Amino acid sequence: MQFYVIGDESTVAGFGLAGVVGEAVETADEAREALKKAFASSDVGIVIITEKIAAGLRAEMEDYVFGHSFPLIIEIPDRTGPMPGRVSIRQMVRSAVGINV
C-alpha cells in the first residue's frame, strides 16, 4: 500500500522528500486526472490532497468518499495554512491526544 499526494508544487515536493509519489496540479481538470490516476492504481491505499485542490473538486470528492471505502482520502492544508472554517493539523492532533489549549 502506497501513499499518493495531489497538491501544489511545494506540497508534492515536500512529500517527495519523504518518498511519497504524487502529482503537482494547478487546475481542477489536472486534479481530476490525478485523482483518476490514483484511483486506477491498485498500489495506492491513501490519497493525500490539499484542501484548496479538494475544494475545486468537492462534488467528485464527496461522491467518491461516500461511494467507496478504498483508497482512503485525506485532506490537508497546504503551506499557507488551513482554509477558513477548517482546523489546522496542530489543532487536530491536540484534540486527538486530549490537549485542549
CATH of the domain at 12: 3.40.50.10580
Structurally, the chain folds into a number of domains equal to 1
Q: Model confidence over 12-56: pLDDT tens digits?
A: 999 999 999 999 999 989 999 999 898 888 899 999 999 889 888
CA dihedral 25, 30, 36, 38 (to 10 degrees): -10
Place of cell 487546475: 27
The model's pTM is 0.78
| Residue 58's pLDDT band (cuts 50, 70, 90) | confident
Q: Residue 3 corresponds to which amino acid?
A: F
Identify the domain containing residue 19 by its residue range.
Answer: 2-97
